[in-house]
Amino acid sequence: MAAPCVSCGAAASYRLFLAGRVSFAREQGLWKAAAAGLQTGTRCQILRLKHSPAVTTKKNVAALRRESYTVDFIKKQIEEFNIGKRHLANMMGEDPETFTQEDIDRAITYLFPSGLFEKRARPIMKHPEEIFPKQRAIQWGEDGRPFHFLFYTGKQSYYSLMHEAYGKVLHVEERQDQLRAKGLFSEKPKTKDPIGSRWLIKEELEEMLVEKLSDQDYAQFIRLLERLSALPCDAAEEEFVGRFRRTVTVQSKKHLIEPLQYDEQGMAFSTGRGNAPWRRGKRKTANAEAVVHGHGSGKIEINGVDYLLYFPVTQDREQLMFPFHFLDRLGKHDVTCTVSGGGRSSQAGAIRLAVARALCSFITEDEVEWMRQAGLLTTDPRVRERKKPGQEGARRKFTWKKR
Amino acid sequence: MAAPTVKVALGWSGLGLGVRRAALRLPGLVQVRWSRYGPEYQDPQTDKEYYRKPLAQLTEEETYERELRKTQVIKAAPATKTCSVFEDPVISKFTNMMMKGGNKILARSLMTQTLEAVKRKQFEKYHAASAEEQATIERNPYTIFHQALKNCEPVIGLVPILKGGHFYQVPVPLADRRRRFLAMKWMITECREKKPRRMLMPEKLSQELLEAFYNRGPVIKRKHDMHKMAEANRALAHYRWW
């Protein structure tokens, strides 16, 4: 169905371009359309775009044409990759037969340590399929006649996929009609688990078909698949639909809950401390470690000082109370914690996080999930934004003077 | 299964389940405002009762909502939000608007003093009044605050629209959040600018709140002025295109 993803054209030259892309002058209309589109866009981010002056350069004709690789070139690259993999395994003293991609990554980071911040700029060694973009073979024969009957639509893989899906829908409906005519049809409601899988997104579909799609095309395709999945299908159709579904991870599984520890008196306690960084509490530049005791009277001690003296502001004390109040365990635990760095509000936030993480050991998994959904178990990633040159602050610009 | 199917159909177009949509990238345009959270992060739900509801009582939509939230990454709760029963989002918003230079401690203390002053005044009136009037006097400062702000909300607003080289003030219906914002803004501006020199903010604010509660006072007058202007300019209403 999808065209074989192989490079095209014997006459194409395969120059590797490491330089950035050339930008062209764009019309004003594009910017306006984009700005209008963004008004109705995502609700959680306010995007205010400003138009940056476009750079016009001499038209580099060679750079315009997309790099294309021949079949032989890709094959040679794959051979070189496999030989290189064996050499690497030998160098590292491992077995070349069972050398996986993770081993390759580890070996490369060991042999070529890089201090670059951008992870994508560091040396990598991956299979050529992942590095060179997928391309299509020539779609027509010697006489110029295209192979696929839908070639002149422009998006042959997409339309052939739609054609196939619609064919399946008609087939299922025909089968339903036959059953109804015989009287054997039973109205069975379809049970599908609501969450657990999702339709693949437009980018994934484009990658699968090696074709550019528009949003309307994608919408149409998903509607058709929904229609197909709503009908009673047999195994072949289910498999066809399953090709376009991806599993969704459940977030709560990612948390690791430390088991309770017991001290000399046999009382349970749990720490928000430990070697793993996610056990502590952090907010801006404040770091906190908390020990929560199982049986207590609601006493909180911070750096050896009572919480009422350490946090004279009500808001900070409310933040300390938040995890306990959420779990209805207000007077039942004792907390001893140490905190350093940051200001008063960030220290309170850091202690809140450490206490919430320590409390995870005392409660059920459901309650852990509730705490996560209340935002108690997430480290706040907001930090102070740096000042930029040419501006007075992070966002504030210098006073604009006309002359 | 109609509801979940519909939800799924809507889901893919917006923020997908557990999938990070790349932020809108357009050539020639630079993104100016961004957030440390990615677009897939959802706002936290701090209400205790939402979680304590037994599963048997949930509707299908709510069950779907619950399942969906399990797959989503959630932002951290901000420092001003708790699950406390005493917390009021309107009061928090008003406190933030009163705040100057990031001095939240001062703003919050002014707010508590205002509510205390309102309560005191109402109690004085209560003790001085006869039995029939006592039933009509409202003593809860929170209800007075909410009602006062609701009374100050304008229904229709004016927007300057450029047509033929001139700016015309066109009457336009306002969204809920715009109305609430205007009510609070007018109240704060009124209290800051139009008070005698030595009068403190809580005193002036409590006075204004009580007057707004009884539908008198300068803020209500300002709301009526806005309505009258909108009525006067109603011929220009067709300049609005949305």
Identify the CA nearest to B236 among candidates B154, B175, B172, B153. B172
Residue B163 burial class via C-beta count within 10 angstroms: exposed 0-12, middle 13-18, buried 19 and up: exposed
Q: Which residues contact B66 (CB under 8 A, 6 or more apart)?
A: B58
Residue among A56, A69, A52 nearest A16 (CA): A69
Residue of A nearest to B64 (CA): A194
In DSSP notation, B149-168 reads: HHHH--SEEEEEEEETTEEE
Identify the DSSP state of A148: S
Give the model's confidence band at A295: pLDDT under 50 very low, under 70 low, under 90 confident, else very high: confident
* Whole-number pLDDT of residue B155: 95
Nearest-by-Cβ selection for A313 from B5, B31, B105: B105
Contact A52 B30 (CB under 8 A): yes
Residue among A45, A219, A374 minimizing CB distance to B35:
A45
Contacts of A373 in chain B (CB under 8 A): 44-45, 51, 69, 74
pLDDT of residue A379: 92
Mean per-residue pLDDT for A338-343? 93
Domains and CATH numbers, chain B: 40-84 (no CATH), 87-237 (1.10.455.10)
**Which residues of A are less than 8 Å from B175 in CB distance?**
none
Q: Work out the minimum CA distance from A78 to partner chain B, whole angstroms.
A: 31
Lowest mean pLDDT among A103-107, A302-306, A356-360: A356-360
Residues of chain A contacting B22 with CB distance shorter than 8 Å: 203
* Beta strand segments in A148-299, E: 197-199, 245-247, 261-262, 268-271, 281-283, 286-293
CA distance A333 to A359: 9
Chain centre to alpha carbon of residue A326: 30
- CA quadruple A88, A89, A90, A91: dihedral, nearest 10: 50
Query: Which residues of chain A are within 8 Å of residue B41 when distances are taken between CB atoms?
Result: 44
Structure confidence at residue B236 (pLDDT): 93
Instruction: With residue A49 as reference, give the H or E element that holds it.
Output: strand A49-51
Given a contact cutoff of 8 angstroms between Cβ atoms, the answer to whether B83 and A352 are in contact is no
pLDDT at B57: 76
Among A248, A313, A388, pick the best mutation site for testing chain B contact (most B Cβ within 10 A). A248
Report which of B28, B169, B62, B146 is spatially closest to residue A35, judged by C-alpha positions.
B28
Q: Is residue B169 helix, strand or coil?
A: strand
Q: How far apart are the C-alpha atoms of A221 and A223, rounded to whole Å?
A: 5
- Cα atoms in the 13 Å half-sphere on the side-chain side of A145: 2
Partnered with residue B169 across adjacent β-strands are B160
As for the ipTM of the complex, it is 0.84
Burial (CB count within 10 angstroms: exposed 0-12, middle 13-18, buried 19+), residue B117: buried
Find the DSSP H helices in chain B. 2-13, 48-52, 60-70, 89-98, 104-128, 131-136, 141-152, 176-193, 201-213, 218-232
Structure tokens at A208: 């699968």
d(CA B214, CA A6): 78
Least confident of B6-20, B55-69, B103-117: B6-20
Of A50, A191, A353, Cβ closest to residue B30: A50
- In sequence order, the β-bridge partners of residue B74 are B42
pTM flag (> 0.90): no
- Which pair of structure tokens corresponds to residue A127? 């299979």
- Tally of CB atoms within 10 A around A209: 20
| Token pair 């074989």: residue | A4
Residue A83's φ and ψ, nearest 5 degrees, are: -65, -45
Task: Quote the CA–CA distance of A334 and B125 in Å, as a whole number.
Answer: 46
State phi, psi for B160 to the nearest 5 degrees: -75, 125
**Is residue B44 less than 8 Å (CB to CB) from chain A?**
yes
Contacts of A9 (CB under 8 A, 6+ apart): A68, A70, A138
Per-residue pLDDT reduced to its tens digit, A145-193:
999 999 999 899 999 999 999 999 999 999 989 988 988 767 666 666 6
CA atoms within 13 A on the CB side of B17: 27
Residue A362: the pLDDT is 85
Residues 6+ apart with CB under 8 A from A291: A269, A270, A271, A272, A273, A335, A336, A337, A358
Virtual torsion, Cα B45, B50, B54, B56, nearest 10 deg? -90
Spell out the residues 6+ positions from residue B24 whose beta carbon is closer than 8 angstroms to its own: A34, A37, A38, A41, A47
Least trusted range by pLDDT, from A58-67, A76-85, A91-100: A58-67
Instruction: Give residue B23's pLDDT.
Output: 54
Residue A403: the pLDDT is 87
Least confident interval from A1-15, A296-310, B19-33? A1-15
Instruction: Find the CB nearest B18 among A198, A219, A321.
Output: A198
Choose from A26, A44, A241 for mutation: most chain B CBs within 10 A.
Answer: A44
Distance CA B242, CA B240 (A): 6
Cross-chain Cβ contact B15/A375 below 8 Å = no
pLDDT for A9 beyond 70: no
Average pLDDT of span A110-119: 92
CA distances from A248 to A200, A237, A310, B18 (A): 10, 21, 44, 6
The reply to whether residue A226 touches residue B9, judged by beta carbons under 8 angstroms, is yes
Taking only Cα atoms into account, the Rg of chain B, rounded to an integer number of angstroms, comes to 23
Q: Which residue of B has its CA nearest to A330?
A: B84
Q: Please spell the DSSP secondary structure of A309-375, one letter per residue.
A: HH--SHHHHHHHHHHHHHTT-TTS-EEEEEEESS-HHHHHHHHHHHHHHHHTTTS-HHHHHHHHHTT
- pLDDT one-digit tens code per residue, A43-62: 445 555 555 555 555 555 55
Residues of A in contact with B15 (CB under 8 A): 42, 44
Q: How far apart are CA A239 and CA A236, in angstroms?
A: 5
Looking at per-residue pLDDT, the higher value among B8 and A204 belongs to A204
Q: pLDDT digits over B3-20, tens only? A: 444 333 333 333 344 444
pLDDT at A279: 55
pLDDT in tens, A378-387: 999 999 999 9
User: Are B18 and A44 within 8 A, CB to CB?
Assistant: no
pLDDT over 60 (residue B202): yes
